[in-house]
Structure 1
Amino acid sequence: MLGHLHRHGPATPGEVAAALRQRPQSFTRVFAELETEGLMVREAGAVDRRQPVLSLTEPGRPALEREMGERDAWRAGALASLSATERGVLELAAELMERVADLETPASG
């Protein structure tokens, strides 16, 4: 969530949830925890004051960078443990997953 706010700027809870392919209700507790920790702030929207807008705070940036660094270090170690063939299979699988993720979902109903 913090990564989304970092990459895309302030957003409503619904926009963040949609980008992560979740329902906003699924993140209510997480949003509250991030706000309590001072990593994110929730403010009234400029267009619709009833619709909150979430923003990454200054203390949230180094926390996000620290987490991303730890994740990158873990990923590098995990990939280094694989053979060249296994890494190639993962690269192909990643390309396929991106193509699938980009497909439009059928209209419900």
Structure 2
Amino acid sequence: MNDPSSRDAETASLLRQAVGTLSRRLRQAGKSQGDPQEGPVSLAGLSVLARLHRGGARTPSALAIEEHMQPQSLTRVLAALEEKGFISRSADPADRRQVLVRLTEDGTALLREEARRRDEWLRSALATLSPTERDLLRLAAGLMLDLDARTG
């Protein structure tokens, strides 16, 4: 297993497994409200809310592209988010034919609570590690974010 391509393949597989496991655990940490299967909104809904939080208002078409979703699927997600008061829709002042989707204060509050709950779980899990292990994970997280930025 000294071949660099074999080590890269092994590393890729380990990272995929670790990220998948961590992602599932973090989703479970967010299930304490609402539907026991998903929490107050679906994972797709949380992703849309987070994108609106990071990038501001946008059209449903732009959201569908950015979220890699079919427009029909996004329509259902947006309807559920709007029904719960997490987003609002309004005419685009630059083009009245277009609709802009915006995050509401309730949507922002939901994102904060979801992040707080997941961060709390992760903090308690990190507390079981040594300082060196926590430093190593901090370094790995930075590298993973950098990798994401490089590969877009």
Q: Would the TM-score normalized by the shorter structure come out above 0.5? A: yes
The alignment covers a number of residue pairs equal to 102
Q: Determine the structure 1 residue equivalent to 2:132.
A: 85
- Structure 1 residue 33, shift from structure 2 partner: 1.4
CA distance in 2, matches of 1:52, 1:24: 18
Q: Determine the structure 2 residue equivalent to 1:23.
A: 68
| Residue identity in the other structure for 1:101 | D
For the 8 Å contact 1:4–1:16, the answer to whether it is kept is no
Unaligned runs of 5+ in 2: 1-47
Assess, with a 3 A threshold, how the Cα gap between structure 1 residues 98 and 66 changes in structure 2: closer, same or farther.
Answer: closer
Matched-pair identity in %: 42
- Structure 1 residue 15, shift from structure 2 partner: 4.5
Q: Determine the structure 1 residue equivalent to 2:108.
A: 61
| Residue identity in the other structure for 1:77 | S
- Structure 1 residue 55, shift from structure 2 partner: 0.8
Q: Determine the structure 1 residue equivalent to 2:149.
A: 102
Higher relative contact order (CA 8 A, sep 6+): 1
Q: Determine the structure 2 residue equivalent to 1:43.
A: 90
- Structure 1 residue 40, shift from structure 2 partner: 0.6
**Between structures 1 and 2, the one with greater helix share:** 2
Higher mean alpha-carbon deviation, 87-96 vs 42-51, is at: 42-51
- Structure 1 residue 16, shift from structure 2 partner: 7.3
TM-score, normalised on structure 2?
A: 0.54
TM-score, normalised on structure 1?
A: 0.70
CA distance in 1, matches of 2:131, 2:52: 35
Q: Deviations over 1:30-83 (max 9, x none)?
A: 222111111111223222334321111232232222222212211211211222
Assess, with a 3 A threshold, how the Cα gap between structure 1 residues 99 and 63 changes in structure 2: closer, same or farther.
Answer: closer
Query: Whose radius of gyration is greater, 1 or 2?
Result: 2
Q: What is the aligned-residue RMSD (CA, Å)?
A: 2.5
For the 8 Å contact 1:43–1:52, the answer to whether it is kept is yes
Assess, with a 3 A threshold, how the Cα gap between structure 1 residues 58 and 91 changes in structure 2: closer, same or farther.
Answer: closer
